Structure 1
Amino acid sequence: MTTKKIMLFSIVGFLLMAMVMGATFYFATQQRGEQQTAVKPMKTYTYSIGEMYANVKDSRKILKVNIEVETINEKLKETFDEKRPKMTNSILELLRNKTEEELSGEKGQKALRQQVLKSIKQVIPSDEIMDVFFVEFIVQ
C-alpha cells in the first residue's frame, strides 16, 4: 500500500470512529435527561385527623393514636372537614376491635395503617388519598 492510501484509510477510520463515539455520547446523555425529568417528585398535602383514644379489645389497656392523612389534592381537605365525623367514627370502630397482639410490633402497625387507609377511602372514595401516618401510637 502506498502512503496516500494508508493516510486515506486512517482519516476515514478516524472520522467513522468519531461519528460512532459522538452518537453514543448523544444518546447516552439524551436518555439520562429523560429519566431525570420522569422522576419529578409529587407535591403532597397532609390533613390531621387528630388524637383518638380507644379501648384495646379484651384488655384493660388504651390505645392513643394521632393520625395524619396524605393526599395529592389540597382541595380534598375541604371534603375531609365535611366528612370528619364519619371518618372518625369509622376509624374508632376499627381501633376498638383490635387486640394487643394485633397492635404490637411493626407488622401490626403497618397492617393497621392499611386498614385505616381503607376505612377512610370507604368514607371518601378517592384515588388522591395516598397514605396514612401515625404521628403518635401508644398502647398503655
Structure 2
Amino acid sequence: MAEAAQPAQGGSKTKLIIIISVVVLLVLGLGIGATLYLTGVFSHKKAGAHATESVPKKPAIYLSIEPALVVNLGPDQPVRFLQVGIDVMARSHKIIDAVKQNMPAVRNRLISLLSGQKYAVVSTQAGKEALRKQVLENINEVLKANGETKPVEQVYFTNFVMQ
C-alpha cells in the first residue's frame, strides 16, 4: 500500500507546480497589463493624436496685399504715418481667391483698423503682435460676411514703417 501512495504524491506535486506556474503567469500578465494601461498605451486619445499628426498639412499659399497700406495714425496725435506690407497665408486656393475677390472690403477694413492705432502702442513688439492678430480677425470677418467658411490661417507683416 505504501507503494500505491507514492505515485499519487508525485502526481500532486506536478499539479501543485502547474497551479503555481499558472498563478505566477496570471499575476505577471496582470502586472504588465496594468502598467500598459496606466502609461496610456491603450488610450484612444493618444491614438487619435498620433493619427492626426501623421496626416501632412497642405502646403502654405501666400498672397500679398498690394500696394502696401499707408495711413495717418489716430486723430489725437501729431501727424504720424504708418506703412504696412501684409501677406496672408492659407492652405487652399479657394481661400486665397476669396481674399482676392473681397480685396476692396479687406483693404477698407484694414485701413480703418490701422488708422485708429496709437503710435506709442504699435511701436512696441507686443503692440505689433496684437495688431497682427486684429488684422487676421478683420480679414476673416470680411470673408465670413461674404460666405467663406474657412478662414485665413496667418497674417504676416512684411513691411512696417512708422514716421
Q: Normalised by the shorter chain, which TM-score bucket? A: 0.7 to 0.9
1:72 and 1:128 in contact (8 A); partners too: no
For residue 75 of structure 1, give the secondary structure of its aligned residue in structure 2: helix
Q: Which runs of 5+ in 1 are unaligned?
A: none
- How far does the alpha carbon of each residue in 1:59-116 deviate from its partner, in whole angstroms, 9 at most, with x for none? 3332121212233432121121121122112211211121202312232122212321
How many correspondences in the alignment? 140
Residue in 1 aligned with 2:70? Answer: 53
Amino acid of the structure 2 residue aligned with 1:82: Q
**Of the two structures, which has the highest relative contact order with CA contacts closer than 8 Å and spacing of 6 or more?**
1
CA distance in structure 2 between the aligned counterparts of 1:22 and 1:124, rounded to whole angstroms:
51
1:59 and 1:99 in contact (8 A); partners too: no
CA distance 1:83–1:34, change in 2 (3 Å): closer
Q: How many percent identity over aligned positions?
A: 26
Q: Which runs of 5+ in 2 are unaligned?
A: 1-11
Amino acid of the structure 2 residue aligned with 1:133: Y
- Say whether 1:136 aligns with 2:159: yes
Amino acid of the structure 1 residue aligned with 2:156: F
Residue in 2 aligned with 1:7? Answer: 17
For residue 59 of structure 1, give the secondary structure of its aligned residue in structure 2: coil
- Which is higher, the Rg of structure 1 or of structure 2? 2
TM-score normalised to structure 2 length: 0.66
Residue in 1 aligned with 2:49? Answer: 35
CA distance in structure 1 between the aligned counterparts of 2:23 and 2:137, rounded to whole angstroms:
65
For residue 121 of structure 1, give the secondary structure of its aligned residue in structure 2: helix
CA distance in structure 2 between the aligned counterparts of 1:99 and 1:24, rounded to whole angstroms:
58
CA distance in structure 1 between the aligned counterparts of 2:61 and 2:73, rounded to whole angstroms:
31
CA distance in structure 2 between the aligned counterparts of 1:127 and 1:72, rounded to whole angstroms:
13
TM-score normalised to structure 1 length: 0.75
CA distance in structure 2 between the aligned counterparts of 1:79 and 1:30, rounded to whole angstroms:
40
1:73 and 1:128 in contact (8 A); partners too: no
CA distance in structure 2 between the aligned counterparts of 1:63 and 1:109, rounded to whole angstroms:
12
CA distance in structure 1 between the aligned counterparts of 2:120 and 2:103, rounded to whole angstroms:
28
